[in-house]
Copies of this chain bind each other. A is one copy, B any other.
């Protein structure tokens, strides 16, 4: 009982805001409210923000050169301690901000108590988070670039190789593997643009907004903004302390990335499934079964799909967190990091793995080519050929539909049709010399922009090489 009390007393002393309080925080509460176990990740950004703040206070004549020097030296040492893993993180100090400020006072004494002049944790954490988000967006952009590079390489390699592409997972038309890979380059390109756009929109420093109204201390927010690499300082203190738009947008951008590649994961699981097998994954990206000795499972792809579910859940949590929250800062917002950080990790890890996976996955060209022969893949080509012979498209579509039904009933393919059979169903035109059932014609015959033809694919390759060169 006595122990508890003295422990309580120690806590009271530790909390930097405890002046007004008569009872100590309960350990249960401490455990419930602390964030240090996850927000320590913000340490380098917190230090960077504090350094800029100190320099500004000094420049404004609020901190003496001596005090500023002492604080900057102390912050430097803290940074070194964190990097080397020697920093004494303390749960009872709640969060990374209090941990660093407390340590600073341990290291340099009284001047440490001047760091927080004209600042609140509200503008401090908003600044840390933005610096962190900017860092993450830059990293993602760089891996997306690598991803586009691999996709372009694979596309170049498989320009002439076709597979029976699907809609509704039903054989639709022959498609070049290059077109397949370049489709994902388009997605990665948009993902990268989205990051550019949010980097630009949120190049605003919150430092100086204080708790919610700014400060009576003559701060210079423009100076700290410039120091930290932002384009400008906040315009409205009340907005900026409760604003989590950048966190939400980064989470959305990350989710969109995962949505795109969850589709690739689904495709690849399908393509490498036992009865399809038009794609083969390297052993090094698969794992086995504890019971079934023959299994080679695409776990990485399944987890990419599963982790996309995680990301959707975390994004949802962020939306729910902000919905209906009174304006300005409320402690609910602490949870934003519990959901942003896993999104960041999942997206970063997945992009890295995708680079390797896409480089190593092996297209089983022969198996895919063999599959082109069956399944009426050329029916649309035939219909369009009939259009060129003068039939309205809707009539041509209907005729070819009837031809397919004719084949299905006889269990034959389009290629097996004799000229007589065709004439029976479509008496309007003659078929002699038509190449319309050769899958290869989609490469030659598709000339317009964006299609799976040879030239349009070359155009895409040129575009992406320019993009990579920029």
Copies of this chain, tallied across the complex: 4
Q: Within 8 Å CB of A17, what residues of B? A: 287-290, 293, 295, 397, 401
- Give A124 to B290 CA distance when docked, in angstroms: 10
* B325 lies within 8 A of A263 (CB): yes
Q: Which chain A residues numbered 171 to 201 have a C-beta less than 8 Å away from chain B?
A: 171-175, 179-180, 182-187, 190, 193-194, 197, 201
**Across chains A and B, which 9 residue pairs bring their CB atoms closest together, nearest first?**
A19-B401, A214-B451, A313-B317, A17-B288, A306-B332, A113-B394, A120-B291, A294-B376, A113-B392
Interface centre among A265, A292, A405 (most CB of B within 10 A): A292
**What's the dominant secondary structure at chain A's contact region?**
helix
* B255 lies within 8 A of A303 (CB): no
A262 on the interface (CB 8 Å rule)? yes
- Give A349 to B10 CA distance when docked, in angstroms: 23
A308 on the interface (CB 8 Å rule)? yes
- Give A275 to B101 CA distance when docked, in angstroms: 33
Known contacts A164-B274, A213-B446; A306/B333 CB under 8 A: yes
* A194 lies within 8 A of B201 (CB): yes
* B211 lies within 8 A of A167 (CB): yes
Taking A20-B294, A293-B401 as known contacts, 9 extra A-B pairs with beta carbons closer than 8 A to each other, sorted by chain A number, are A19-B288, A19-B398, A32-B303, A168-B330, A172-B213, A172-B295, A180-B327, A216-B445, A305-B324
Contact with B along A254-288 (1 / 0, CB 8 A): 01101100111111011001111010001111111
Residue of B nearest to A292 (CB): B380
- Give A326 to B270 CA distance when docked, in angstroms: 9
Distance in Å: Cβ of A215 to nearest Cβ of chain B = 6
Known contacts A28-B353, A320-B309; A165/B452 CB under 8 A: no
A91 on the interface (CB 8 Å rule)? no
Q: Within 8 Å CB of A164, what residues of B? A: 274-275
- Give A2 to B201 CA distance when docked, in angstroms: 47
Known contacts A19-B400, A442-B216; A169/B238 CB under 8 A: no
Q: Within 8 Å CB of A410, what residues of B? A: none
Contact of A21 among B98, B221, B238, B288 (CB under 8 A): B288
* B238 lies within 8 A of A452 (CB): yes
A466 on the interface (CB 8 Å rule)? no
Q: Within 8 Å CB of A213, what residues of B? A: 165, 172-175, 179, 442, 446, 451-452
Q: Within 8 Å CB of A338, what residues of B? A: 310
Interface centre among A119, A182, A258, A291 (most CB of B within 10 A): A291
Known contacts A28-B353, A211-B380; A273/B169 CB under 8 A: yes
* A302 lies within 8 A of B168 (CB): yes
* A218 lies within 8 A of B332 (CB): no
Question: Which of the 9-residue segments A77-85, A135-143, A239-247 touches chain B?
Answer: A239-247
Known contacts A248-B256, A463-B235; A263/B450 CB under 8 A: no
Known contacts A275-B275, A448-B219; A404/B326 CB under 8 A: no
Contact of A114 among B16, B172, B392 (CB under 8 A): B392
Known contacts A168-B295, A327-B263; A335/B353 CB under 8 A: no
